[in-house]
Structure 1
Amino acid sequence: MSMTPPPESTGEPLPSTPLRLVALEVEAHVAADGWDQPARMYALVRTAALVEAEPGLAEQLAVSLRDAPDGYTTIEQELPQDGRPLEDVLEGIEWPDAVDGCAVVVERIMLPPEAEADLPDDPDALVEAVAQHPERADVRLVAAVDREGGGHSAVRARTPDDAPLLEGPDLVPGLVHALRRTLDASA
């Protein structure tokens, strides 16, 4: 998997959009639980719309609504733990109209692009080769998308412990695209 350099590496600051902020919030929430977690998925609903639809939540969401009136509230979704790859699970997801976007967090192993040429074709041998590769990097990937076509992603390496969070709209394009399809399917 290749990654596009984040805009901050070129000196350009990232805008603090609601989608970026919710992606960072989701990453921090999942990171607080440590590593070796299953994939996690979140529905994104505009906080103002949620309060309008569910007035009983107004007090609980008052600070969020005050601080980010155009922001999102995350609602964690249960994902099947049946061993299917996340990409296959995403193909069967459709969101109701009340959902304004979605986010997913998944841990993966990444290799440098030059390592891919030496990988075996056999799926079992591939898993073993990747797991044993000396240049492997365990990473946490976050992708968030909205119905307007926006997207934001983040990547954090497991090591070192203080690894920086890389972020940008196109760091994990395959995952962003798969999430967009879940929103398109329900349109």
Structure 2
Amino acid sequence: MTSFPDSAGSSGSQADLGNALAQCLTYAADLPWGSQPTLFALVPTAVLAAQAPGLVDPDDDSALSPVVQETDTDDLEQLLTTVSWPPQVVGCALVTEITLLPPDAEADLDAALEPLLADADAADEAARRAAHAHPDRRTARLAAGVLRNGKRVALLALREGDAQATDLQTHPDLAPNLLDSLAETLHA
């Protein structure tokens, strides 16, 4: 991972984090559907411009810049339990694909899981298969991000054909476990 000068004074606001997540989703929109999760360090744009001026557009007035991190796994649990950030990185974000189901699909998932509850891995796999087979499923990209100052945002971009929707959605209860896991990487 790239090293940056100390940026402790630049923590970012909720809006700054939301703008950085929108940039992460713009980056992911160029990737094919089915790609592995993409991890980003969030760095103050002024710090990045000072360190690597060629990477930042002189007209870029955004507070935070996402910096893509190379990863070699699509296992989110493994990734998020092994990554840590230097103090100069003020936040992190992850973009991953998820499957959304309508509320009435819970009965279908319960039926698929009930015989497998003793084996967590088998139950997870059965839930994935049932979700992907559900006729009313929707695919989306989820961007979740956290800052060291405690700000947290998750954005959702639905899949429309082979493209990613430009209309982003959020909710205060969107992806709380993923946000918690990302926050842990900042304190590791």
Match of 1:12 in 2: none
Q: Residue in 2 aligned with 1:103?
A: 93
Question: Which range moved further: 129-138 or 119-128?
Answer: 119-128
Partner amino acid for 2:71? L
Give the structure 2 partner of residue 63 of structure 1: 59
Aligned to 2:71: 79
How far is 1:78 from its partner? 1.6
Quick check: 1:44–1:102 contact (8 Å CA) kept in 2? yes
Indicate whether 1:173 and 2:176 are aligned. yes
Q: Which amino acid aligns with 1:75?
A: V
1:41 offset after TM fit, Å? 0.5
Residue 107 of structure 2: SS of its match in structure 1?
helix
Residue of structure 1 in register with 2:23 after alignment: 25
Q: Which moved more, 1:117-126 or 1:91-100?
A: 117-126
Point out 4+ residue stretches in structure 1 off by more than 6 angstroms.
Answer: none
Q: How far 1:139 moved relative to its partner?
A: 1.1
Q: Residue 158 of structure 1: SS of its match in structure 2?
A: strand
Q: TM-score, normalised by structure 1?
A: 0.75
**Cα shift readout 1:84-143 (whole Å, capped 9, x = no counterpart):** 3x1332022111111110010000112223322332223343332222111211111001
CA contact (8 A) 1:138 1:158 kept: yes
Structure 1 unmatched runs, 5+ = 1-14
Report the CA distance between 1:40 and its aligned residue. Answer: 0.3
Percent identity among equivalent residues? 33
Question: Partners in 1 of 2:30 and 2:102 — Cα distance?
Answer: 27
- TM-score between the two structures when normalised by the length of structure 2: 0.75
Paired with 1:91 and 1:47, the residues of 2 have a C-alpha distance of 27
Aligned length: 162
Task: Find out whether 1:37 has 2:35 as its counterpart.
Answer: yes
Shift of 1:145: 1.1
The CA distance in 2 between the partners of 1:177 and 1:117, in whole Å, is 28
Structure 2 residue ranges without an equivalent (≥5): 1-12, 117-121
- Aligned partner letter, 2:28: V
What residue number does 1:47 align with?
Answer: 45
Kindly provide the CA deviation profile for residues 58-91 of structure 1, in whole angstroms up to 9, marking residues without a partner as x.
3542322xx23xx11221112222x53x133202
